[in-house]
Amino acid sequence: MTDYILRVTLFLAFVLPLIAWQVLRPKKKLVHWKQRWIENLSLLAINMMLLKLIQPLLLSLIAYTSSKYGLLNLLPLPIWASILLSLLLLDLAIYWQHNLSHRIHWIWRLHRIHHSDSELDVSSAVRFHPIEIVLSLVYKSIIVVTLGIPAVAILIFDVLLNASAMFNHSNVSLPKKIERVLRLFIITPEMHRIHHSRINKETNSNYGFFLSIWDKIFNSYTDKASLGDNNINIGMPKTKKYRPNGVLSLLLMPLFKPITFQNKQNTE
Protein backbone atom coordinates (compact mmCIF):
# COMPACT_ATOMS: atom_id res chain seq x y z
CA MET A 1 0.00 0.00 0.00
CA THR A 2 2.90 2.35 0.80
CA ASP A 3 4.42 1.78 -2.65
CA TYR A 4 1.03 2.43 -4.27
CA ILE A 5 0.54 5.72 -2.39
CA LEU A 6 4.07 6.79 -3.30
CA ARG A 7 3.54 6.01 -6.98
CA VAL A 8 0.24 7.89 -7.10
CA THR A 9 1.71 10.87 -5.25
CA LEU A 10 4.71 11.11 -7.56
CA PHE A 11 2.48 10.62 -10.60
CA LEU A 12 0.15 13.46 -9.60
CA ALA A 13 3.07 15.70 -8.67
CA PHE A 14 4.33 15.38 -12.22
CA VAL A 15 1.19 15.10 -14.34
CA LEU A 16 -0.85 17.94 -12.82
CA PRO A 17 1.76 20.64 -13.63
CA LEU A 18 2.17 19.07 -17.06
CA ILE A 19 -1.58 19.33 -17.74
CA ALA A 20 -1.53 22.94 -16.53
CA TRP A 21 1.39 23.66 -18.88
CA GLN A 22 -0.35 22.30 -21.95
CA VAL A 23 -3.57 24.10 -21.04
CA LEU A 24 -1.91 27.49 -20.44
CA ARG A 25 0.78 27.23 -23.14
CA PRO A 26 -0.34 24.59 -25.66
CA LYS A 27 1.78 23.62 -28.62
CA LYS A 28 -1.31 23.78 -30.85
CA LYS A 29 -5.06 24.11 -30.50
CA LEU A 30 -6.71 20.70 -30.19
CA VAL A 31 -10.02 20.25 -31.99
CA HIS A 32 -11.23 16.88 -30.67
CA TRP A 33 -9.88 16.98 -27.15
CA LYS A 34 -13.22 16.29 -25.39
CA GLN A 35 -13.99 13.12 -27.37
CA ARG A 36 -10.38 11.97 -27.16
CA TRP A 37 -10.21 12.45 -23.39
CA ILE A 38 -13.39 10.39 -22.98
CA GLU A 39 -11.83 7.63 -25.11
CA ASN A 40 -8.43 7.74 -23.44
CA LEU A 41 -9.65 7.96 -19.85
CA SER A 42 -12.19 5.19 -20.51
CA LEU A 43 -9.37 2.93 -21.69
CA LEU A 44 -7.37 3.94 -18.62
CA ALA A 45 -10.26 2.98 -16.32
CA ILE A 46 -10.71 -0.40 -18.05
CA ASN A 47 -6.98 -1.10 -17.88
CA MET A 48 -6.73 -0.15 -14.21
CA MET A 49 -9.58 -2.53 -13.30
CA LEU A 50 -7.91 -5.28 -15.32
CA LEU A 51 -4.55 -4.71 -13.66
CA LYS A 52 -6.14 -4.94 -10.21
CA LEU A 53 -7.05 -8.54 -11.03
CA ILE A 54 -3.75 -9.60 -12.61
CA GLN A 55 -1.05 -7.50 -10.99
CA PRO A 56 -1.13 -8.99 -7.45
CA LEU A 57 -0.32 -12.48 -8.77
CA LEU A 58 2.52 -11.27 -10.96
CA LEU A 59 3.94 -9.03 -8.24
CA SER A 60 3.95 -11.96 -5.83
CA LEU A 61 5.86 -14.03 -8.37
CA ILE A 62 8.34 -11.20 -8.92
CA ALA A 63 8.83 -10.60 -5.20
CA TYR A 64 9.59 -14.28 -4.63
CA THR A 65 11.94 -14.87 -7.56
CA SER A 66 13.74 -11.60 -8.33
CA SER A 67 15.55 -11.55 -4.99
CA LYS A 68 16.85 -15.11 -5.42
CA TYR A 69 17.33 -15.65 -9.13
CA GLY A 70 18.21 -13.63 -12.21
CA LEU A 71 21.42 -12.53 -13.92
CA LEU A 72 22.07 -9.48 -11.74
CA ASN A 73 22.13 -11.63 -8.62
CA LEU A 74 25.15 -13.44 -10.08
CA LEU A 75 27.17 -10.21 -10.22
CA PRO A 76 28.99 -8.84 -7.15
CA LEU A 77 27.56 -5.33 -7.56
CA PRO A 78 26.85 -2.73 -4.89
CA ILE A 79 23.15 -1.86 -4.67
CA TRP A 80 23.54 1.54 -6.36
CA ALA A 81 25.27 -0.05 -9.38
CA SER A 82 22.64 -2.79 -9.53
CA ILE A 83 19.88 -0.16 -9.55
CA LEU A 84 21.51 1.93 -12.29
CA LEU A 85 22.19 -1.12 -14.46
CA SER A 86 18.61 -2.30 -13.87
CA LEU A 87 17.17 1.03 -15.01
CA LEU A 88 19.31 0.94 -18.14
CA LEU A 89 18.33 -2.65 -18.99
CA LEU A 90 14.64 -2.04 -18.31
CA ASP A 91 14.61 0.97 -20.62
CA LEU A 92 16.35 -1.10 -23.31
CA ALA A 93 13.73 -3.82 -22.85
CA ILE A 94 10.90 -1.30 -23.26
CA TYR A 95 12.56 0.05 -26.42
CA TRP A 96 12.56 -3.42 -27.99
CA GLN A 97 9.03 -4.13 -26.80
CA HIS A 98 7.89 -1.00 -28.61
CA ASN A 99 10.02 -1.71 -31.68
CA LEU A 100 8.65 -5.24 -32.04
CA SER A 101 5.06 -4.07 -31.52
CA HIS A 102 5.42 -2.34 -34.89
CA ARG A 103 7.04 -5.34 -36.59
CA ILE A 104 4.92 -8.26 -35.37
CA HIS A 105 1.59 -8.09 -37.17
CA TRP A 106 -0.74 -9.41 -34.47
CA ILE A 107 0.81 -7.17 -31.81
CA TRP A 108 0.58 -4.17 -34.15
CA ARG A 109 -3.16 -4.82 -34.42
CA LEU A 110 -3.31 -4.08 -30.69
CA HIS A 111 -0.74 -1.29 -30.64
CA ARG A 112 -2.35 0.70 -33.46
CA ILE A 113 -5.08 1.73 -30.97
CA HIS A 114 -2.40 3.96 -29.44
CA HIS A 115 -1.56 5.40 -32.86
CA SER A 116 -5.19 6.02 -33.76
CA ASP A 117 -5.24 9.18 -31.63
CA SER A 118 -5.61 12.05 -34.10
CA GLU A 119 -4.06 14.58 -31.71
CA LEU A 120 -1.44 14.30 -28.99
CA ASP A 121 -1.59 15.45 -25.39
CA VAL A 122 -0.97 14.00 -21.92
CA SER A 123 -4.01 11.71 -22.20
CA SER A 124 -2.52 9.96 -25.25
CA ALA A 125 0.01 8.29 -22.96
CA VAL A 126 -2.71 6.02 -21.50
CA ARG A 127 -4.40 5.12 -24.80
CA PHE A 128 -3.70 1.37 -24.98
CA HIS A 129 -5.82 -1.68 -25.66
CA PRO A 130 -6.43 -3.81 -22.53
CA ILE A 131 -4.91 -6.91 -24.15
CA GLU A 132 -1.73 -4.99 -24.96
CA ILE A 133 -1.56 -3.83 -21.34
CA VAL A 134 -1.75 -7.44 -20.13
CA LEU A 135 0.89 -8.59 -22.62
CA SER A 136 3.12 -5.68 -21.59
CA LEU A 137 2.79 -6.58 -17.90
CA VAL A 138 3.68 -10.21 -18.58
CA TYR A 139 6.65 -9.15 -20.72
CA LYS A 140 7.97 -6.78 -18.03
CA SER A 141 7.51 -9.45 -15.37
CA ILE A 142 9.56 -11.94 -17.39
CA ILE A 143 12.31 -9.33 -17.84
CA VAL A 144 12.33 -8.50 -14.13
CA VAL A 145 12.53 -12.16 -13.09
CA THR A 146 15.13 -13.08 -15.73
CA LEU A 147 17.41 -10.20 -14.81
CA GLY A 148 16.72 -10.29 -11.07
CA ILE A 149 15.77 -6.60 -10.92
CA PRO A 150 15.68 -5.30 -7.31
CA ALA A 151 12.33 -4.02 -6.03
CA VAL A 152 13.56 -0.44 -5.56
CA ALA A 153 14.64 -0.31 -9.22
CA ILE A 154 11.19 -1.51 -10.31
CA LEU A 155 9.58 1.32 -8.35
CA ILE A 156 11.97 3.96 -9.71
CA PHE A 157 11.58 2.75 -13.28
CA ASP A 158 7.80 2.65 -13.04
CA VAL A 159 7.78 6.30 -11.96
CA LEU A 160 10.28 7.26 -14.68
CA LEU A 161 8.37 5.41 -17.39
CA ASN A 162 5.01 6.97 -16.51
CA ALA A 163 6.46 10.46 -16.16
CA SER A 164 8.37 10.16 -19.43
CA ALA A 165 5.33 8.87 -21.32
CA MET A 166 3.21 11.77 -20.07
CA PHE A 167 5.93 14.27 -20.93
CA ASN A 168 6.73 13.08 -24.44
CA HIS A 169 3.05 12.85 -25.42
CA SER A 170 2.22 16.30 -24.05
CA ASN A 171 0.96 19.17 -26.18
CA VAL A 172 3.80 21.50 -25.23
CA SER A 173 6.66 23.20 -27.00
CA LEU A 174 10.17 23.60 -25.61
CA PRO A 175 12.60 26.36 -26.63
CA LYS A 176 14.67 25.03 -29.53
CA LYS A 177 18.02 25.19 -27.76
CA ILE A 178 16.70 23.41 -24.68
CA GLU A 179 14.93 20.80 -26.79
CA ARG A 180 18.08 19.97 -28.78
CA VAL A 181 20.09 19.51 -25.57
CA LEU A 182 17.42 17.42 -23.82
CA ARG A 183 17.00 15.02 -26.74
CA LEU A 184 20.67 14.09 -26.47
CA PHE A 185 19.63 12.23 -23.33
CA ILE A 186 15.84 11.76 -23.13
CA ILE A 187 12.83 11.57 -25.42
CA THR A 188 11.28 15.00 -25.97
CA PRO A 189 7.73 15.78 -27.14
CA GLU A 190 9.06 16.97 -30.52
CA MET A 191 11.02 13.77 -31.00
CA HIS A 192 8.07 11.56 -30.05
CA ARG A 193 5.56 13.47 -32.19
CA ILE A 194 7.46 12.19 -35.22
CA HIS A 195 6.66 8.65 -34.08
CA HIS A 196 2.94 9.50 -34.21
CA SER A 197 3.05 10.75 -37.81
CA ARG A 198 0.74 9.14 -40.37
CA ILE A 199 3.80 8.74 -42.63
CA ASN A 200 4.78 5.10 -42.20
CA LYS A 201 8.55 5.67 -42.28
CA GLU A 202 8.29 8.22 -39.47
CA THR A 203 5.93 6.04 -37.42
CA ASN A 204 8.47 3.24 -37.57
CA SER A 205 11.14 5.30 -35.85
CA ASN A 206 11.83 6.99 -32.49
CA TYR A 207 10.65 4.03 -30.41
CA GLY A 208 12.27 5.12 -27.15
CA PHE A 209 10.24 6.06 -24.08
CA PHE A 210 12.79 7.53 -21.71
CA LEU A 211 16.40 7.44 -22.97
CA SER A 212 17.02 8.62 -26.53
CA ILE A 213 20.22 6.63 -26.99
CA TRP A 214 18.59 3.38 -28.13
CA ASP A 215 17.12 4.81 -31.32
CA LYS A 216 20.54 6.13 -32.27
CA ILE A 217 22.31 2.87 -31.48
CA PHE A 218 19.81 0.70 -33.35
CA ASN A 219 19.38 3.05 -36.32
CA SER A 220 15.72 3.89 -35.72
CA TYR A 221 16.22 7.60 -35.06
CA THR A 222 14.48 10.29 -37.14
CA ASP A 223 15.77 13.76 -36.35
CA LYS A 224 13.11 15.87 -38.09
CA ALA A 225 9.61 15.33 -39.44
CA SER A 226 9.46 15.60 -43.22
CA LEU A 227 6.68 18.22 -42.99
CA GLY A 228 8.21 20.02 -40.02
CA ASP A 229 7.20 19.80 -36.36
CA ASN A 230 4.27 22.21 -36.74
CA ASN A 231 2.77 20.31 -39.68
CA ILE A 232 2.94 16.67 -38.59
CA ASN A 233 -0.28 14.89 -39.49
CA ILE A 234 -0.90 12.95 -36.26
CA GLY A 235 -2.78 9.68 -36.44
CA MET A 236 -2.84 6.10 -37.68
CA PRO A 237 -0.17 5.51 -40.36
CA LYS A 238 -1.21 5.02 -43.99
CA THR A 239 -4.46 6.96 -43.45
CA LYS A 240 -5.31 10.59 -44.21
CA LYS A 241 -7.91 11.75 -41.69
CA TYR A 242 -9.15 8.61 -39.99
CA ARG A 243 -9.94 8.68 -36.29
CA PRO A 244 -12.08 6.21 -34.27
CA ASN A 245 -15.69 6.76 -33.30
CA GLY A 246 -15.69 6.06 -29.59
CA VAL A 247 -14.42 3.53 -27.06
CA LEU A 248 -16.16 0.52 -28.60
CA SER A 249 -14.44 1.09 -31.94
CA LEU A 250 -11.09 1.19 -30.10
CA LEU A 251 -11.76 -2.08 -28.28
CA LEU A 252 -12.80 -3.81 -31.52
CA MET A 253 -10.07 -2.28 -33.67
CA PRO A 254 -7.72 -5.32 -33.50
CA LEU A 255 -10.34 -7.37 -35.33
CA PHE A 256 -10.28 -5.24 -38.47
CA LYS A 257 -7.85 -5.36 -41.38
CA PRO A 258 -5.79 -2.25 -42.27
CA ILE A 259 -7.82 -1.69 -45.43
CA THR A 260 -10.79 -0.83 -43.20
CA PHE A 261 -9.04 2.32 -41.98
CA GLN A 262 -7.41 3.22 -45.30
CA ASN A 263 -10.80 3.36 -47.02
CA LYS A 264 -12.38 5.39 -44.21
CA GLN A 265 -10.63 8.64 -45.00
CA ASN A 266 -12.58 11.12 -42.91
CA THR A 267 -14.70 10.88 -39.79
CA GLU A 268 -14.18 14.50 -38.76
pLDDT at 262 over 80: no
26 in any annotated domain: no
Residue 204 lies in a domain: yes
* Residue 78: predicted pLDDT: 93
Domain presence at residue 1: no
Query: What's the pLDDT at 267?
Result: 41
Predicted local distance difference test score (pLDDT) of residue 3: 61
Half-sphere exposure of 76 (CA within 13 A, CB side): 0
pLDDT over 80 (residue 98): yes
Query: For 202-225, what is the mean pLDDT?
Result: 96
Give residue 238's pLDDT band: very low, low, confident or very high (50, 70, 90).
Answer: confident
d(CA 245, CA 142): 35
pTM of this structure: 0.90
Range of the domain at 210: 31-263
- In the chain, what percentage of residues exceed pLDDT 90? 62
Q: Indicate whether 4 belongs to any domain.
A: no
What confidence tens digit (pLDDT) does each residue in 144-193 have?
888 988 888 888 898 899 899 999 999 999 999 999 999 999 999 999 99
Q: Does residue 20 lie within any of the structural domains?
A: no
Q: Is residue 161 included in any domain, yes or no?
A: yes
Residue 252 forms part of a structural domain: yes
Asked if residue 7 belongs to a domain, the reply is no
Report how many domains make up the chain. Answer: 1
- What is the tens place of the pLDDT at every residue in 26-80? 999 999 889 999 999 999 999 988 887 776 566 666 656 666 677 888 888 898 9
